[in-house]
Amino acid sequence: MSIATTVRNEWRVWSRNRLLSGLSLLFLGLSLYAGINGRVHQERIRQARQDAEDRVRIAWENQRDKNPHSAAHFGTYVFKPISPLWFFDHGVDRYVGVSLFLEGHRQHDLQHKPIQDDTALGRHNELTPAFFLTYLMPLLVILAAYGSVSGERDRQTLPLVYSMMDRRRWIVAKWSASAILVSGLVFAAFLIQAAVLWTTSGTLTDLMVLAALALVYVVYGLVFLTICMLVSGWSRSTSVSFAVSVVVWVIASFLLPRLVSVWSEVRYPLPSAHGFRSELARDLREGVDGHDPFSETATRLLEETLTQHGVDKVEDLPFNWSGYIMQEGEKHESAVYQRHMDRLSGLHLSQIDLHRQLAWLSPVGAMRLMSMEASGTGLRETYRFRAEAEQYRMRLVGELNRDLMDHFEYGDWDGKRSASFFATNVTFRYPEADRLPVIRAMAESAAVLLGWLLVQGIVLVGVVARRSPV
Amino acid sequence: MRHWVVLEALAFCRRSAVRWLVVVWPALILLAAWSTEHVHRQIEGATNALKSDEIRHYEGLLQTARKLESGEIASDSLPWFQNPTNPLVAGLFRASGHHAVKPTSDFRWVAVGFADVRTPVYQVKMGRVTPPSAITLENPLNQALGRFDTAFLLVYLLPLLVIVLGYDLLSKDRSNGWLDLTRTYGQPLWALAIARGVIHGIFWWVLTMSALWLSAAWISRVQWPLFLSLGTAIALYLLVFLILTVVVNRSSRSPVRNGLNLVTGWLLFLVLIPSMANALLMAAHPPPQRSDDVAARRAAEVRAEWDVDSPAGTAGWQDYWLTEFQRRALTDSLHTVATSQINQSMDIRHRKARQLEWLSPALRFQSELLQIAGVSAAQYAAFDKDVAAFESRWTAHFLPAFLAQRLLTMEELARRPVFSPP
C-alpha cells in the first residue's frame, strides 16, 4: 500500500463524514461573516475618526483670537487611525484609547478605550477571522485527526495496516492527508479574507502580509495536527484520544496564555501608576519650567543666554525671552516624558517577548501576537502612533513658541493671533507603517513553529511507530 | 438502593482523574484567586496613594488657614492663588478636590470584570470630574488575552471538567456490556443516570466550594450571604451541564459521540454564543464613537469661547474665573445633546446585553459572578452616576462663596463634602 493510496482512503472517509464537512463549511461561512462584519465596523470607525479629525482641525482654526501660548494650552486632539487589516484581528485596539489630547508642556495618555463603553458580552472573544483561525481551526484539526491512529487500534485493524505497509510511511501518509486538509482550510479562509481586504483601502503590501500570515497559520495548524496525532498514537482508545486532545486544546488556547500573562507580570513587574507619576514629576522639576522664570534652572539659562548674546537685560535679547524659555521647557519636558514612557514601554515589550519565548508551551499566545502585529493592531502600532503624535505636538507647540519668540515683545501676554494664523499651523499626518519588520518577525515566529513541528514530527514518526499496535 | 449508590460513589472516587483533580482543581482556584486579588490590590494601592495625597494636601491648607486665622501669617502676604480660604484654591486648584472611590466587595477576588478597564476613582473639583490619567500601567496585551481570574476557571473550565469526567457517564458501561448487567439488579436507567449525575454534581460542588472557602478565608473573610449566593450560582451552573451530560449519555451510544456532542455544547455556550451575541449587539446597537464625542465637545468649547466675552486685560482674577465658569456651563449645555445621546445608546446596549445573557448559561453565570465581585459594568455605571451627583454637592459647597466674593470660614474648609455611595 502506497502513501498516495492511504491519503486517498483517508479523504474518502472524510468525504463520508458529514459532521466534519458540515463543520468545515460552517467554519468558512463564519469566517466570511466575521470578515464582512469586521469590514463594516472598520469602515464606520474609520469614517468617524476621520470626521472627528476634520472637525477638531476646524475647531483649531476657528478658535477665538488668543495668545499663541494660550493656544498651546487650548491644545488639539489626534485620533488613532485604523489599520486596513483591522477587520482581520482587532488586537489590543479596544484596550487602548482612541484619542490623544495634545497641549503644551505635557504628554497625555490615550483616552476613551472602546472596552470602557462595552457590555459584559464585550469581554468575551471577538468574532474575527483571526479568532476562528486561532481558536476554532485547531478544533477542526482535532475532529479530523483524533482517531487517525487510535481509531485503527479501536477497530483492531492497526496490526493489519502495519503488516501491509511500513509503520513510519503509514504515519507520514496519515499526517499528509490531514495536512492537505488543514492547508486547504487555511488557504480557503485566507482567500475569503483577501477578498474582504480588496474592498478596503488595503494595499498590495497588506495583501502580502495576509499571504505571509496564511503560511504561518498553515504551520500553526500543522503543529496542532501533529500534537493530535501524537495523542492519538499514544491513546488506547478513540474516546481517550478525543478527550485528551480537547483538554490539550483548552489548556493551550485558554489556560496557558492567561497563565503566561500572570507570569509576565511577575517576571517584569510594572511600576505603580502613582509611583510612575511621582518620579515623572520629580524629573520634570529638575529642568526648565516655562511657567517659572525665577527657578534656579531658568535663572541659569537666562544668564547663559544673556552672556551668549552679549546683553545685560532680558528686554535687550533679539527675541522674546518668554517664548524661548517656553520652548526650552518644552524640550526638557518632552525628553523626560520620553525617557519614562520608554522605560514603561520597554517593560511592556519584555512582557510581550515572554509570550513569544513561551510559544513552545502554547503556540496560541504567539500566534495571536503575530496576527495582531500583522494586522497593525498590536501594541507596537500604538507606540508608533504615540511617538508620531508626540513629534506632531512638538512641531505644533514649537511653531507657537517660535511665533511668541519672534513676533511678540517680552511681557506682551495680551497680544493675540487670529484664525488666519491658526489655519497655517502644521497638521497631523500619520505615515504608513513599515511592514518589513512585521514580515521579518513573522518569519522568526514561523521558524520557531517549524522547529516545534520538526521535533514533534520526529517524535511522531520515531516513537509512535514503535508503540504496540494492540 | 443505598448500597448501590455508595458503590457508585466509591467507583467514582477510585478514578485516577478524580484523585488528580482533587489536588489540581483547588490549587488552580487558589492561584486564580490570588491573581485576581493581586489585580485588585494594585488598583487599591493606586487609589490609596491618591487619597493620601489628598489628605496631605488638605492638612497643609488647614495648617496655613489656621496660621492666617491666628495672625501668624499676614493675609496680605499670601497671593490670592495661595490663600487656602479662597474657594477656588480649596475647591479647584492644583491638588484640591475630593477623590470619590468606588467601594469594593469582600469577594472581589472572584472576578476582575471591569475593574481593569473602568476607573474606580475620580477627582471631583468645582464644576468638573476628572478620572486619573491611569490607575495601573497595565499591559493592554495581557488584558486582551484574557484574565486568569477565578471567574475564568468557574465559567470556562468547570463545565469542561464536568464533561471530561462525565462524557462516558453511561455510554462506557453500555459499550462494554456492564450497563445491561447493572440493569438486571432492577435499577431503571434513569435512576442510574441521575444517581451518577448527582454524584458528579456533589463532587464538583463540594470540591469547588471548599477551594473557594479556602480562598475567601485566605484573602479576605468569609462573608456568608455572598458565599451562599456564590454557592447557589455554582450549583445552578453545574446543574445545567450535568443535565446536558445525562441527556447526551441517555440518547447516544458511543463515548466519542457523547464527547463530541458535549464539547460542541461547551463550545456553543462558552465561545460561539457569547461571541455571536456580542456581534449581534454590535450590529444592532453599535457602541458610541467617542471620537464623535470629543469632536462635539471641542466644537462646543470653541462656540463657548466666542459666545462668552473674555474679561478685559485689566480685570481681576474673579472676573477671569467667572468667565471660565460661564464658558464651562455653556460648553456643558451645548454638549448636552451629544452626552445624552451617548448615555441613551449605552443604556440601550446594556439593557439588550442583559437580555442576550439568557442565550447562554455561561453568560448568566458570569454576570452573577461579576455582580458578587462588585465589578460589573452596571455597578461601574451606577458609581459614575453617584460621582456626578456628588460633584453637584462639592460645587455647591464652594461656588456660593466664590460668587459672593468672600473667603471660606475654617468650618467650611474643614467640613468639606465627603463621597459616600448609597
- Tens of pLDDT, residue by residue over A392-423, are 999 999 999 999 999 998 888 888 899 999 99
Phi-psi category of B291—alpha, beta or left, where left has phi over 0 and alpha has psi -120 to 50? alpha
Tell me which chain A residues have a C-beta less than 8 angstroms from the C-beta of B350: 119
Q: What is the mean pLDDT of residues B149-164?
A: 94
- Closest partner residue to A121 (CB to CB) among B46, B146, B353 is B353
3-state class (DSSP) for residue B337: helix
Per-residue pLDDT, B1: 56
Q: What is the pLDDT of residue A5?
A: 85
CB A35 within 8 A of CB A133: no
Nine-digit cell string for A67: 495668545
| Closest Cβ opposite residue B283 in set A37, A109, A146 | A37
What torsion, rounded to 10 degrees, do the Cα atoms A17, A23, A27, A33 define?
130
Examine the pLDDT at B169 and tell me if it is beyond 60. Answer: yes
Nearest to B106 by CA among B379, B373, B382: B373
Q: Which residues contact B354 (CB under 8 A, 6 or more apart)?
A: B367
Confidence of residue B15 (pLDDT cuts 50, 70, 90): confident
Distance CA B193, CA B188 (A): 9
Residues A53-73 pLDDT 10s: 999 999 999 999 999 999 999
- Give A-chain residues touching B157 at CB under 8 angstroms: 250, 254-255
Label the pairing between strands B98-101 and A106-107. unpaired
As a whole number of Å, the CA-based R_g of chain A is 30
Q: Provide ipTM, 2 decimals.
A: 0.88
Q: Which residues of B301-317 are buried (b: 16+ CB within 10 A; e: fewer)?
A: bbbbbeebebbeeeeee
Looking at mean pLDDT, say which of A147-151, B33-37, B191-195, B253-257 comes out highest.
Answer: B33-37
Per-residue pLDDT, averaged over A80-100, amounts to: 94
Please, which residues 428-447 of chain A have a Cβ atom closer than 8 Å to chain B? none
Residues A94 and B147: their CA atoms lie apart, in Å, by 15
- Give yes or no for residue B174 having a pLDDT over 80: no
Contacts of B35 in chain A (CB under 8 A): 262
Asked whether the predicted pLDDT for residue B214 surpasses 70, the reply is: yes
- pLDDT category at B361 given cuts 50, 70, 90 is very high
Cβ–Cβ below 8 Å for B275 and A143: no
pLDDT exceeds cutoff 80 at B180: no
Chain A, 322 to 381: residues with Cβ < 8 Å from chain B are 344, 347-348, 351-352, 355, 365, 368-369, 372, 378-379
- Distance separating alpha carbons of residues A85 and A197, to the nearest angstrom: 7
The stretch B347-352 carries a mean pLDDT of 93
Average pLDDT estimate for A206-233: 92
| Residues contacting residue A389 through CB under 8 Å, at least 6 positions apart | A78, A100, A102, A428
Q: What is the mean pLDDT of chain B?
A: 90
Residue B108, helix vs strand vs coil: helix
Residue A120 has what pLDDT? 85
> How many beta carbons lie within 10 A of that of residue B328, not counting itself?
16
CB A367 within 8 A of CB A220: yes
Question: Is it the case that residue B268 has pLDDT exceeding 60?
Answer: yes
Measured between alpha carbons, how far is A64 from A77 in angstroms, rounded to an integer? 17
Q: What mean pLDDT is predicted for residues A319-341?
A: 93
In sequence order, what are the residues at sequence separation of 6 or more whose Cβ sits closer than 8 angstroms to the Cβ of residue A25?
none
Among residues B401, B384, B418, B415, which one has the least CA distance to residue B130? B384
Instruction: Check A98 against B283: CB less than 8 A apart.
Output: no
Q: What is the mean pLDDT of residues B387-413?
A: 93
Could you tell me if A453 and A223 are in contact, meaning their C-beta atoms sit under 8 angstroms apart?
yes
Range 324-363 of B in CB contact (< 8 A) with A: 346, 349-350, 353, 356-357, 363
Q: How far apart are CA A149 and CA A135, in angstroms?
A: 24
As a whole number of angstroms, the distance between CA A229 and CA A168 comes to 13
Q: Quote the pLDDT of residue B398.
A: 95
Beta carbons of A439 and A209 less than 8 angstroms apart? yes
How many angstroms separate the CA atoms of A370 and A374, rounded? 6
pLDDT at B4 over 80: no
In this predicted structure, which of A369-378, A437-446, B225-234, B270-279 has the lowest mean pLDDT?
A437-446
Query: Region B70-87: what's the mean pLDDT?
Result: 87
Look at chain B and count its residues: 422
pLDDT at B314 > cutoff 70:
no
Chain A hits for B293, CB-CB cut-off 8 Å, are 112
Planar angle of CA B326, B329, B333, nearest 5 degrees: 140
How much is the average pLDDT of B183-189? 76
| Residue B375 confidence (pLDDT) | 95
Chain A residue numbers touching B346 (CB-CB < 8 A): 117
Q: How far apart are CA B150 and CA B312, in angstroms?
A: 61
pLDDT of residue A274: 87
What distance in Å separates residue A127's CA from the closest CA in chain B?
Answer: 6
Q: Decide if pLDDT at B173 tops 70.
A: yes
Cell 477571522 sits on residue:
A129
Contacts of A365 in chain B (CB under 8 A): 145
Query: What is chain A's mean pLDDT, rounded?
Result: 90
Sheet holding A106-107, edge to edge: A76-79, A99-103, A106-107
A133 and A182 Cβ atoms separated by less than 8 Å: no
Is a pLDDT exceeding 60 seen at residue B251?
A: yes
* Chain A nearest CA to B412, separation (Å): 29
pLDDT score at A125 = 80
Q: pLDDT grade, residue A386 (50/70/90)?
A: very high
- CA B38, B39, B41, B45 dihedral sign is positive
Q: What burial class does residue B154 get, using C-beta atoms within 10 Å of its C-beta: 0-12 exposed, 13-18 middle, 19+ buried?
A: buried
Q: Given B140, B157, B260, which is nearest A92 (Cβ)?
A: B140
Please state the length of chain A.
Answer: 470
Q: Tell me what the mean pLDDT of segment A291-315 comes to.
A: 88
B69's CB contacts (< 8 A; 6+ apart) are B410
Please write the tens of the pLDDT for every residue from B362-384. 999 999 999 999 999 999 999 99
Joined together, the cell numbers standing for residue A174 give: 496519515
- Judge whether residue B38 has pLDDT over 90: yes
Per-residue pLDDT for A345 more than 90? yes
Kindly report which listed range (A75-79, A148-152, B106-110, B169-173) carries the lowest average pLDDT score. B169-173
Work out the burial of residue B231: count CB atoms within 10 Å of its CB; fewer than 13 is exposed, 13-18 middle, 19 or more buried: middle
Do B271 and A125 count as a contact with CB atoms less than 8 A apart? yes
pLDDT tens for A144-180 read 898 888 888 888 888 888 888 888 888 888 899 999 9
For the beta carbon of residue B153, count every other beta carbon within 10 angstroms: 22
- SS3 (DSSP) at B167: coil
Give the distance from CA B188 to its chain's centroid: 47
Report yes or no: B167 at the A interface, CB cutoff 8 Å.
Answer: yes
CA distances in angstroms from A352 to A128, A272, A290, A380, B73, listed in the order given: 22, 19, 38, 10, 56
Mapped to the 3 state alphabet, what secondary structure does chain A carry? CCHHHHHHHHHHHHHHCHHHHHHHHHHHHHHHHHHHHHHHHHHHHHHHHHHHHHHHHHHHHCCCCECHHHHHHHCEEEECCCCCCCCCCCCCHHHCCCEEEEECCEECCCECCHHHHCCHHHHCCCCCHHHHHHHHHHHHHHHHHCCCCHHHHHCCCHHHHHHHCCHHHHHHHHHHHHHHHHHHHHHHHHHHHHHHHHCCCCCHHHHHHHHHHHHHHHHHHHHHHHHHHHHHHHCCCHHHHHHHHHHHHHHHHHHHHHHHHHHHHHHCCCCCHHHHHHHHHHHHHCCCCCCCCCCHHHHHHHHHHHHHHCCCCHHHCCCCHHHHHHHHHHHHHHHHHHHHHHHHHHHHHHHHHHHHHHHHCCHHHHHHHHHHHHHCCCHHHHHHHHHHHHHHHHHHHHHHHHHHHHHCCCCCCCCCECHHHHCCCCCCCCCCCCCHHHHHHHHHHHHHHHHHHHHHHHHHHHCHHHCCCC
> What does the pLDDT read at residue A1?
64
**Do residues B413 and B65 make contact, with C-beta atoms less than 8 angstroms apart?**
yes
Which residue type does B283 have? A
Residue of A237 and A264 predicted with greater confidence: A264
The three-class DSSP label of residue B111 is coil
